[in-house]
Amino acid sequence: MRVGEDKILDGRGVAKKIEVEISKKVDELKEKNVVPGLTVILVGDNPASQVYVSYKEKACNRVGINSSLIRMAKDTSQAELLSEVKRLNNNDSVDGILVQLPLPDQIDEEEILKAIDPAKDVDGFHPVNVGDLVVKGTNLAPCTPKGIMELLSRYDVDLEGKEAVVVGRSNIVGKPMFHMLLDNNATVTVCHSRTKDLKYHTKRADILVAAVGRPNFISGDMVKEGAIVIDVGINRSDDGLVGDVEFEGAKKRAAAITPVPGGVGPMTIATLLMNTLEACEERRG
């Protein structure tokens, strides 16, 4: 699959193809009386979280994965949430557990993520899965960077020997992205809020991944001619949803770029489905 003249890396289109592939595998499992199951826990009433959960539920329904949602009140205690996670750990029909982040202030996110059975950790955030990613790679890797790698693969982007720059060092995107690119033989630089002369680094990037959560943070003149630009950001503005990359300026210089919306977001959801299917196959043979 090659990038067209429009230079767009169509995450939405690739995600649809992945869903067709997953749906076929789910049908094969159902013939063996195995139905993959994903349970999402939503604590509180964060509007963005409710939208994301809705996307995940609809995607599961499209491919035939059993999806259930557990809603818990905003004032839920940490003990109550831990008890619910433990119950799901012990439920054999649940292959994937996803606790929607962020959590209310009274709950320690790290403790909750540690409590999830690593074999059911379809978000890829458990320390065991993070360690596996660093040491040897893992199926249950964080969905957004894993989705980015899948998108690059589907477009036959060769990473070997390329200069890759990741802007952002979060546990959700930046750090796992570093390891995945490195494992594919790219030479990787990670930049962050204290990086001096950010433009110097981004202008060297054959592969540029922007994951800082700041609208239009990467301007067009910060992009190398012929670069592959991956925009992870989803920011609300007066002009609607925009990414971390100033799209029109970057597109003029880039060989290919992900749009916002329609780029990384759909791939994240598709990868969650992949992780749930893989967790089911691993757990149930």
Residues labelled catalytic? 56, 100, 123
Using CA atoms, how far apart are residues 213 and 102, in angstroms rounded to an integer?
A: 15
Contact between 143 and 275 under an 8 Å Cβ cutoff? The reply is: yes
Q: Is 110 exposed, middle or buried (0-12, 13-18, 19+ CB in 10 A)?
A: exposed
Using CA atoms, how far apart are residues 35 and 54, in angstroms rounded to an integer?
A: 20
Count other Cβ atoms within 10 Å, centred on residue 20. Answer: 10
Which amino acid, residue 270? A
